[in-house]
């Protein structure tokens, strides 16, 4: 069966997530406007630094709960990397939609709001309700769309 446009781009976000080097959550993001992909991102260590796959996860080692102490993570989040890639390549994401395998955290929410993202479609919830409150106050449309699992 032919997927809806939201299902299509969400499926692409799940493919992007496969490049993630995070040991806890493999997250992918795809920024889209007018049914065109503008940028993608996945979570992993900053450029030229060792990945958690190679040296382990500081958050796991210190039993840091998901959704807390974001600053104690080596990874750049997928949404952040999608914004960075657009900036590096001179692509405006103003007014776009972002498809994320996971609900954005508060840090990513603030960045997406300032990048003028108009809609966020995510798959898996994240234990950070403040992000959803920020999106609501900023007038960003947020929708949850179940991720398709591979058979």
Is residue 130 among the annotated active site residues?
A: no
Dump pLDDT digits (tens) for 77-106: 999 999 999 999 999 999 999 999 999 999
Q: Pick the closest to residue 64 from 54, 55, 74 (CA basis).
A: 74
Predicted confidence band at 151 (pLDDT cuts at 50, 70, 90)? very low
Q: Domains plus CATH for the chain?
A: 5-144 (3.40.140.10)
The whole-angstrom separation of Cα 146 and Cα 123 is: 5
Phi/psi for 45 (5° steps) reads -60, 155
| Per-residue CA distances from 37 to 5, 8, 26, 70, 127 (Å) | 12, 11, 20, 28, 28
The whole-angstrom separation of Cα 119 and Cα 130 is: 17
Higher local confidence (pLDDT), 14 or 68: 14
How much is the pLDDT for 149? Answer: 62
Phi/psi for 44 (5° steps) reads 180, 175
Among 79, 94, 130, 150, the active-site one is: 79
């Amino acid at each position: 069966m032919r997927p809806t446009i939201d299902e299509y781009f969400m499926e692409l976000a799940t493919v992007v997530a496969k490049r993630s080097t995070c040991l806890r959550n493999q997250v992918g993001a795809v920024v889209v406007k007018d049914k065109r992909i503008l940028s993608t991102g996945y979570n992993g260590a900053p450029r030229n630094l060792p990945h958690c796959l190679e040296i382990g996860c500081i958050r796991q080692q210190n039993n840091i709960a998901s959704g807390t102490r974001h600053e104690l993570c080596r990874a750049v989040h997928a949404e952040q990397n999608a914004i960075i890639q657009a900036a590096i390549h001179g692509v405006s994401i103003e007014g776009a939609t972002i498809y994320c395998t996971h609900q954005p955290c508060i840090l990513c929410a603030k960045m997406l709001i300032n990048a003028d993202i108009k809609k966020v479609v995510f798959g898996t919830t994240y234990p950070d309700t403040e992000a959803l409150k920020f999106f609501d106050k900023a007038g960003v449309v947020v929708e949850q769309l179940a991720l398709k699992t591979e058979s």
